[in-house]
Amino acid sequence: MLLEVNDVSLSLRRDGKYSKILDHVSFQVNKGETVGIVGESGCGKSMTALSLMRLLPDKAKLEGSVELQGEKITNYSKRKLEKVRGNQMSMIFQNPLTSLNPLQTVGTQIEESLILHTNMSKKERRVRVLKLLNDVGLPRVEELIDEYPHQLSGGMRQRIMIAIAMACEPQLLICDEPTTALDVTVQAQILELMNEIKEQTQMGIIMITHDMGVVAEVCDRVIVMYAGKVVEEAPVVELFQNPKHPYTRGLLNSIPKLGQRKQKLGSIPGTVPVPENMPVGCRFADRCSHVMDICKSTVPQVTEIKENHQTACWLYDEEGGNKDATTGSNQSQTTLHY
Amino acid sequence: MDALRFIARRLVLMIPILFGISILTFVISNTIPGDPARLILGPKATPETLSALQEEMGLNDPLYIQYGNYMAGIFQGDLGQSTYSQRPVSEDLVRYFPATFELTMFAMVITLLIGIPFGIISASRKDKIADQITRVFALMGVAMPAFWLGLLFLLFFYLKIGMFPGSGRLDTGMSPPEYITGMYTVDALLTGNWPVFRSAVMHLVLPGITQAAITIGMITRMTRSSMLEVLGSDYIRTAHAKGGSENRVLYGHALRNGVMPVITLLGMAFGHALGGSILVESVFSWPGLGRYAVNAINYLDFPAVMGVTMLIAVMFILVNLIIDTLYFFIDPRLKHD
Ligand SMILES: Nc1ncnc2c1ncn2[C@@H]1O[C@H](COP(=O)(O)OP(=O)(O)OP(=O)(O)O)[C@@H](O)[C@H]1O
Ligand SMILES: [Mg+2]
């Protein structure tokens, strides 16, 4: 087990009031595995990632535990955590256009990780930076190393970000929508690169995305989040063929049929509840077409559907008694088009 | 070279600006009620001598002719004759400008040394006690009238505890250093004249801080807000994600980005300080351009007022040109556009 996230809850302060952004989020990532985190905008995907890195906004309250290779990094001091960030655990962000320092050359920015976490000499660092630039598929690396971010395209800058993240060969790579800001062809190239990296290294990858197409392309296992909670978890094929939670089905149904990836999710009617005003029962109840009385009063517990596949929904809960069994399988057929 | 082209373009752009300023000042100073000829001759002059002098000074010509004559003079290096000091204005400017420039530069150095660090501290400790205190002081600096602050300083540091001298540029009885730049501190340094250097610096302290109060406030506030914006940006998050410590991120990534807009403001601050010298010099009897200008205005000494205004305008534009050029070298984004 590479990463074990147990009951992580996060509260953030806004306008003087705390609101719970993440509620008992638990999942694991194995070595060499790519885990997708999907869900609509605002469901807490980025905050989950930032909680792992502990790069949270001021005054954030974080509970629960995160273990990286058996080490409980949630107990680490700031100092100790700095040694982990960028070294054992790296992160790539959504917007490559603004994620690089405009006043430093790309070489300097990649080199910084090496300065922070290795004892390499200046010469060795340069060699390593050139190799990294090469590895992420960038051309004319000898010149590129001295260029500034504004001289590069979005796709190239995201490759630089990947090079920065890979510099110290981390065990865990967290990608927060790494391709959302890029155009389709560049997206495909970056995903291909991610797949190559995954094969070459035995890194664990967390891939956060809105995009079920990206999930299908790179993920082994998928975690579906809704309003700060994990509602379903399954291997990728299982999830596409046999989605259980009505929310997951909604997400899958909203994939455009011809596989154009650009389209955003969100064709499920209704809106996500705000953290300040969470329903007492299931958070999806108001938008769910299978809603039952119990959904509105009691939070559903995570139930194992089969090995590795679990969901938090009253439809599948023993106690809930699978009351609405008819919806169980016939709908899932519609989602096989991917 | 790119940089040279850039500078050349800016220099060419200066010309219309200076023309505009000259027209504006000329019109304004000539619409002030009052008759310089009458002021020179005093109340007992006969109407004949008065109209003769008016004619001689060209005061009866239409305004555009007067302006034309003035500009024609400027191109020959002639700024006119000061009616008050009875010397060529250019001579007076050379005499008084170094004192003002020295004071202003001193104020700018204080501004930089205090304003930028305070702004950084304020931003990096946002909403903490250090931030609150800094913000109050910055606001006071901006809001407090310079002459009033100057009077307070005089009362306390000069009259009450006698720590700093309160007027002039040197101790009484001390003779100025050999004239090289006209700035006493610099000239004393160049000639190795330590007692004079010490005295000159001591005399700079109170007027310097008074003049700097506003600009310190400006720069502190600007640094704070600019740093806060930078600290919230994506590349700062990247720097943290790489494992950089707070200080490394603050000084290695945020500082340079955060100070860029502050540098632009420095040009404005310099202009502000130069303009503000008029009040400060009056309070501290500083024999500079400001006091010269006040006298010139009181005596409706138009050539002198024009001279001072044009000189300040040129300085202001030059400083901003220097700053823009500096910008050009520190921001790689400008070089490649
Ligand atoms: N600094 C903050 N203070 C308080 N609340 C915040 C802050 N940043 C984000 N939130 C809230 O946290 C919740 C989760 O946000 P998060 O950015 O994790 O969503 P996301 O799933 O990544 O969405 P997206 O797909 O749009 O990136 C949202 O409700 C958001 O309003
Ligand atoms: Mg996000």
The verdict on A177 and A247 lying in the same domain is no
* A-chain residue closest to B126, CA distance: A58
Q: What's the gap between Cα A43 and its chain centre?
A: 11
* B-chain residue closest to A81, CA distance: B243
Q: A-B interface: how many C-beta pairs under 8 angstroms?
A: 76
Chain A interface residues (partner B, CB cutoff 8 A): 53, 55, 58, 78-79, 82-87, 90-91, 93, 95, 98-104, 112-113, 116-117, 148, 150-151, 161, 164-165
Cβ of A259 closer than 6 Å to ligand 1, yes or no, is no
pLDDT digits (tens, 9 = 90+) for A170-181: 999 999 999 888
The whole-angstrom separation of Cα B234 and Cα A101 is 9
Cβ atoms of A216 and A236 within 8 Å: the answer is: yes
Nearest-5° Cα angle at A239, A233 to A241: 160
The verdict on A52 and A146 lying in the same domain is yes
Residue A266 has pLDDT above 70, yes or no: no
Alpha helices, DSSP H, located in chain B = 2-31, 36-41, 47-56, 63-75, 89-124, 129-143, 146-153, 184-191, 194-231, 234-241, 246-249, 255-283, 289-298, 302-330, 332-335
Residue B66 has pLDDT above 60, yes or no: yes
CATH number of the domain within which A153 lies: 3.40.50.300
The verdict on A16 and A65 lying in the same domain is yes
B187 is written with which tokens? 């000239």
B87 is written with which tokens? 């010397």
CB atoms within 10 A of CB A15: 6
Residue B262 has pLDDT above 80, yes or no: yes
pLDDT digits (tens, 9 = 90+) for A268-311: 788 888 888 888 889 998 888 888 888 888 899 888 988 899 99
Whole-angstrom CA distances from A61 to A23, A64, B95, B127, B246 are: 12, 10, 65, 18, 20
Assigned domain for A293 exists: yes
Assigned domain for A82 exists: yes
Nearest-5° Cα angle at B286, B282 to B288: 95
Ligand 1 centroid, distance to B105 Cα (angstroms): 48
> pLDDT > 70: what percent of chain B?
99
A75 Cβ partners below 8 Å, 6+ apart? none
The verdict on A80 and A211 lying in the same domain is yes
Assigned domain for A323 exists: no
Ligand nearest to the CA of A38: 1
Contacts of A83 in chain B (CB under 8 A): 243
pLDDT band at A148 (very low <50, low <70, confident <90, very high): very high
Name the packing angle between helices A154-166 and B234-241 (round to 10°): 20
B107 Cβ partners below 8 Å, 6+ apart? B208, B209, B211, B212, B215, B273
Cβ atoms of A89 and A52 within 8 Å: the answer is: yes
The verdict on A120 and A61 lying in the same domain is yes
Nearest to B103 by CA among B242, B200, B216: B200
Nearest chain B Cα distance for residue A169, angstroms: 12
The verdict on A40 and A133 lying in the same domain is yes
The letter for the amino acid at B129 is I
Assigned domain for A271 exists: yes
Ligand nearest to the CA of A45: 1
Assigned domain for A266 exists: yes
The verdict on A174 and A101 lying in the same domain is yes
A241 is written with which tokens? 């063929």
What are the backbone angles phi and psi of residue A112, rounded to the nearest 5°?
Answer: -55, -40
The verdict on A261 and A113 lying in the same domain is no
Cβ atoms of A35 and A223 within 8 Å: the answer is: yes
pLDDT digits (tens, 9 = 90+) for B20-49: 988 988 888 777 777 777 777 877 888 888
Contact A99 B237 (CB under 8 A): yes
Mean pLDDT along residues A131-136: 93
Name the packing angle between helices B289-298 and B255-283 (round to 10°): 50
Instruction: Confirm or reject contact between B332 and chain A (CB < 8 A).
Output: yes
Residue B28 is predicted with a pLDDT of 83
Contacts of B128 in chain A (CB under 8 A): none
Ligand 2 centroid, distance to A57 Cα (angstroms): 14
Contacts of A150 in chain B (CB under 8 A): 332-333, 336
At A126, is the secondary structure helix, strand, or coil?
helix
Assigned domain for A155 exists: yes
pLDDT band at A263 (very low <50, low <70, confident <90, very high): very low
Residue A336 has pLDDT above 60, yes or no: no
Assigned domain for A327 exists: no
Mean pLDDT along residues B201-213: 94
Of A13, A43, A95, which is best to mutate to test ligand 1, by the most ligand atoms within 8 angstroms of its C-beta? A43
The verdict on A187 and A259 lying in the same domain is no
pLDDT band at B1 (very low <50, low <70, confident <90, very high): low
Contact A95 B234 (CB under 8 A): yes
Assigned domain for A128 exists: yes
Instruction: Confirm or reject contact between B66 and chain A (CB < 8 A).
Output: no
Contacts of A111 in chain B (CB under 8 A): none
Residue A257 is predicted with a pLDDT of 55
Ligand 1 atom at shortest distance from the alpha carbon of A49: 18
Domain carrying residue A264: 243-312
Instruction: Confirm or reject contact between B256 and chain A (CB < 8 A).
Output: yes
Cβ of A170 closer than 6 Å to ligand 1, yes or no, is no
B148 Cβ partners below 8 Å, 6+ apart? none
Residue A335 is predicted with a pLDDT of 37
Residue A326 is predicted with a pLDDT of 42
pLDDT digits (tens, 9 = 90+) for A38-87: 998 889 999 999 999 999 988 899 999 999 999 999 999 999 999 999 99
The verdict on A279 and A173 lying in the same domain is no
The whole-angstrom separation of Cα B282 and Cα B291 is 6
Q: Which domains does chain B show, CATH number per domain?
A: 92-288 (1.10.3720.10)
pLDDT band at A202 (very low <50, low <70, confident <90, very high): confident
Residue A241 is predicted with a pLDDT of 92
* A-chain residue closest to B260, CA distance: A103
Q: pTM for this structure?
A: 0.83
Mean pLDDT along residues B209-236: 94
At A231, is the secondary structure helix, strand, or coil?
strand
Residue A264 has pLDDT above 80, yes or no: no
Domain count, chain A: 2
Query: Does ipTM surpass 0.95 in this model?
Result: no
* B-chain residue closest to A95, CA distance: B234
At B239, is the secondary structure helix, strand, or coil?
helix
Cβ of A59 closer than 6 Å to ligand 1, yes or no, is no
B91 is written with which tokens? 């001579």
The whole-angstrom separation of Cα A196 and Cα A117 is 24
At B311, is the secondary structure helix, strand, or coil?
helix
The verdict on A31 and A118 lying in the same domain is yes
Residue B284 has pLDDT above 60, yes or no: yes
pLDDT band at A330 (very low <50, low <70, confident <90, very high): very low
The whole-angstrom separation of Cα B160 and Cα B140 is 23
The verdict on A161 and A204 lying in the same domain is yes
Higher pLDDT, B278 or B131: B131
Contacts of A85 in chain B (CB under 8 A): 240-243
